[in-house]
Chains A and B, each alone.
Chain A
Amino acid sequence: MSRRTLAALVLLLLLIAFPFVASGYLLGVFTIAFYFGVFAMAWDLLFGFAGEVNFGPTFLIGLGAYAAGLLNVRGWPILPAVLAGAVAAVIGGLLLALPALRLRGPYFGLVTLVAVLLLQQVIVIFAGVTGGEIGLSLPDVLSVDARKNYWYALAFMGVSGALLYALSRSPAGLILQAAGQDPVEAQALGFNVAKHKLAAFSISALFSGLAGALMVFYLGTASVDTVVDISVTVQVIIAVVLGGRRTILGGILGAVFLIGVGEVLRPLGQLSTFVVAAIALAVILLFPDGLIGAFGRHGREA
């Protein structure tokens, strides 16, 4: 067993044992950070590997969250609702990506951004159904026990991270990386670049949707501010860049750091967002390879 695997195992055990020593409040912070970790990893699959800058991760997250929430309001139990949310995110993602992936450079990013704005408008307009700006209260929650919620989130993040990481290192991930880096050469090597990018988009949508749906069942409400707003997108992107792009697992690090620092700075009130943004900007300027990159060669091979 390599030292790195050992370190990862120890860390995992510590995380699993964490609820026995931590306060419910702290567990809540980590629970949210874990869901953000999945958002970030799903985004990094697209950005770091497929080479596409998706400014609309919250379109996928929001679709998953609201679809699950609305079904739950209509009496669906949690598990089917979460799965349906994931399906909704994948379908929505495909509808968006099919035409959008033809676009190059900033245009793809823009279309995805516009998709978020549209989703946000739709939620506000159909406030009667969606709860509008106040948010949608769900009848069910995952658990009322902070420890259980923490473990659910940790398990979900762990499984998602393992799957996404394995995918990124698999032959399919290799092709995706080639397609993202130089689509012309990848095609000349016999790979249908559009197909692979579309698949990556679907997988990113699947995990985003799942995470979004699970997160609203943790929170008990689905609201624009928590799962759709551009500020959520910004946090996701920052988490990835902060943690180290093209590493998948860096997203977890970035998300925990981001949410953690946000909580530490909470006494600053409104200013905390300012400080978090400033720290992130400083990291981008000084360590463009992120936390993983800053800790040495490690990141290069990870």
Chain B
Amino acid sequence: MLALQILIDGFAISALYALGAVGFTLIFGVSGVLNLAHGGLMLIAAVAAWYTAGELHAGQYIGAITGLAFGVLAAFLTYFVVVRPIQRSRAIPRDETEIFVLTGTLLWGIMIQEAVAYFFSDNPLTVPALISGVANIDGVRVPFNEILVAVISWLSIGLLWILVNRTRAGKALLACAINPRGLTLLGFELGRIYLLVWLIYGLLVAAAGVLLATFLGTSSGNTGALTASAFSIVVLGGLGSVSGSLIAAYVVGYMETLTAYLVSPQIRTIPSLLLLVLVLYVRPQGLLGRR
């Protein structure tokens, strides 16, 4: 009974983690950006959905779509206002671009967090469940929405896989992650590829934000934690490795669920953090990462 509960909850949470982390790893793999405003972007999507669905009484579906739209918008803003100016700045030495992008996106994330807290709310926000009702799986009560969250997460990841592996644009993305110079020589404008990848990233991060808000709720106070969890999952799986991120999301998701149920919800994140430290010491490139 408890085992099944853990199995089901862990699966749904992990699916959501995977969705969040896949976007993070995609944007790093293709454009080399570690976006520390990741949690902030999730928050924007969640707030937009919450505001439209709740405050404007537009219903959860319109709310979800609005959330997606604002997530994408926020992703583009991040790129055009923070990331690209830093990458193009002549005053910033090449080998320091990384730390500047980290610092810049970190500040940007704080700005998002504070703006949301000020203009909307710093209380936890919950978007109404996309579908109501509760399923009974072998004696364990599971809200339909929880199942839907897992399904949509996996559907999104599946769509991403098809896009990357089965379409021409996706192939170009993949090629850009492997060798941007080679792609330039074949007549592809990298600028457009980056736009495309930020669009896809925006969709993924927004979906993760909206789903999180319907499932567990979110608040401006835990945007940092959201970024940190995506970051650690991605590093655990291996920076830039999508399949590594998926596996790591499940490892972390289940470890947290197990700890929360069996030990104490208070320390749910500790075992996975310890695992991360251990993996970094033994295998710095992550589970599936290549040097």
Q: Do A and B come from one complex?
A: yes
**Distance in Å from the Cβ of B117 to the closest Cβ of chain A?**
6
Residues B110-125 near A (CB distance < 8 A): 110-111, 114-115, 117-118, 122
Roughly how many angstroms separate A109 CA and B224 CA in the complex, as a whole number? 16
Measured between beta carbons, the chain B residues less than 8 angstroms from A121 are 267, 269-270, 273
Q: Is the interface of B mostly helix, strand, loop or mixed?
A: helix
Measured between beta carbons, the chain B residues less than 8 angstroms from A118 are 270, 273-274, 277
Roughly how many angstroms separate A117 CA and B100 CA in the complex, as a whole number? 22
A16 at the A/B interface (Cβ < 8 Å)? no
Q: A53-B99, A238-B103, A288-B91 are in contact. Are A274 and B86 (CB under 8 A)?
A: no
Q: Number of contact residues on A: which range applies?
A: 35 or more
Listed in ascending order, the chain A residues whose CB lies under 8 Å from chain B are: 47, 53, 99-100, 102-107, 109-111, 113-115, 117-118, 121, 124-125, 230-231, 234, 237-238, 241, 269-271, 273-274, 277-278, 280-281, 284-285, 287-289
Question: Do B34 and A106 have beta carbons less than 8 Å apart?
Answer: yes
Nearest neighbor of B117 in chain A, beta-carbon distance: A270
Question: Do B284 and A107 have beta carbons less than 8 Å apart?
Answer: yes
Nearest neighbor of B111 in chain A, beta-carbon distance: A277
8 smallest beta-carbon distances between A and B, as pairs? A274-B114, A277-B110, A281-B107, A270-B118, A288-B92, A273-B114, A288-B91, A277-B111
Interface size on B, residues (CB 8 A): 40
**Distance in Å from the Cβ of B196 to the closest Cβ of chain A?**
24
Partner of A285 from the list B86, B98, B276 (CB cut-off 8 Å) is B86
Listed in ascending order, the chain B residues whose CB lies under 8 Å from chain A are: 34, 82, 85-86, 89, 91-92, 98-100, 102-104, 106-108, 110-111, 114-115, 117-118, 122, 224, 228, 231-232, 235, 239, 266-267, 269-270, 273-274, 276-277, 280-281, 284
Q: A277-B107, A281-B82 are in contact. Are A114 and B273 (CB under 8 A)?
A: yes
Roughly how many angstroms separate A111 CA and B103 CA in the complex, as a whole number? 17
Measured between beta carbons, the chain B residues less than 8 angstroms from A273 are 110, 114
Question: Do B34 and A103 have beta carbons less than 8 Å apart?
Answer: no
Measured between beta carbons, the chain B residues less than 8 angstroms from A104 are 284
Roughly how many angstroms separate A273 CA and B86 CA in the complex, as a whole number? 22
Question: Do A274 and B232 have beta carbons less than 8 Å apart?
Answer: no
Question: Do B114 and A271 have beta carbons less than 8 Å apart?
Answer: yes
Partner of B280 from the list A53, A111, A280, A288 (CB cut-off 8 Å) is A111
Partner of B111 from the list A107, A111, A274, A289 (CB cut-off 8 Å) is A274
**Distance in Å from the Cβ of B278 to the closest Cβ of chain A?**
10
Measured between beta carbons, the chain A residues less than 8 angstroms from B115 are 271, 274
Question: Do B280 and A284 have beta carbons less than 8 Å apart?
Answer: no
Nearest neighbor of B224 in chain A, beta-carbon distance: A230
Measured between beta carbons, the chain A residues less than 8 angstroms from B100 are 284, 288
Question: Do A99 and B114 have beta carbons less than 8 Å apart?
Answer: no
Residue with the greatest number of chain A CB neighbours at <10 A, chosen from B85, B111, B232: B111
**Distance in Å from the Cβ of A192 to the closest Cβ of chain B?**
21
Q: A106-B34, A271-B118, A274-B111 are in contact. Are A114 and B276 (CB under 8 A)?
A: yes
Measured between beta carbons, the chain A residues less than 8 angstroms from B111 are 274, 277-278, 281
Question: Do A234 and B106 have beta carbons less than 8 Å apart?
Answer: yes
Question: Do A284 and B107 have beta carbons less than 8 Å apart?
Answer: yes
Partner of B266 from the list A106, A124, A285 (CB cut-off 8 Å) is A124
Question: Do A125 and B267 have beta carbons less than 8 Å apart?
Answer: yes
Nearest neighbor of B227 in chain A, beta-carbon distance: A230
Measured between beta carbons, the chain A residues less than 8 angstroms from B239 are 106
Q: A273-B114, A274-B118 are in contact. Are A238 and B107 (CB under 8 A)?
A: yes
Roughly how many angstroms separate A99 CA and B284 CA in the complex, as a whole number? 11
Question: Do B82 and A117 have beta carbons less than 8 Å apart?
Answer: no
Measured between beta carbons, the chain A residues less than 8 angstroms from B103 are 237-238, 241, 284
Measured between beta carbons, the chain B residues less than 8 angstroms from A289 are 91
Partner of A284 from the list B104, B224, B276 (CB cut-off 8 Å) is B104
**Distance in Å from the Cβ of B89 to the closest Cβ of chain A?**
6
Question: Do B228 and A285 have beta carbons less than 8 Å apart?
Answer: no
Measured between beta carbons, the chain A residues less than 8 angstroms from B102 are 53, 106, 109
**Distance in Å from the Cβ of B135 to the closest Cβ of chain A?**
34
Roughly how many angstroms separate A287 CA and B224 CA in the complex, as a whole number? 26
Roughly how many angstroms separate A115 CA and B111 CA in the complex, as a whole number? 25
**Distance in Å from the Cβ of B229 to the closest Cβ of chain A?**
10
Question: Do B235 and A107 have beta carbons less than 8 Å apart?
Answer: yes
Nearest neighbor of B110 in chain A, beta-carbon distance: A277
Can you name 9 extra interface pairs (CB under 8 A) apart from A234-B106, A234-B110?
A107-B280, A110-B235, A110-B280, A111-B277, A114-B276, A117-B228, A278-B107, A284-B104, A285-B89
Question: Do A285 and B99 have beta carbons less than 8 Å apart?
Answer: no
Nearest neighbor of A51 in chain B, beta-carbon distance: B95
Roughly how many angstroms separate A174 CA and B114 CA in the complex, as a whole number? 41
Roughly how many angstroms separate A234 CA and B227 CA in the complex, as a whole number? 14
Roughly how many angstroms separate A287 CA and B100 CA in the complex, as a whole number? 12
Roughly how many angstroms separate A104 CA and B289 CA in the complex, as a whole number? 14
Question: Do A277 and B281 have beta carbons less than 8 Å apart?
Answer: no
Roughly how many angstroms separate A269 CA and B239 CA in the complex, as a whole number? 38
Measured between beta carbons, the chain A residues less than 8 angstroms from B231 are 110, 113
Measured between beta carbons, the chain A residues less than 8 angstroms from B98 are 105-106
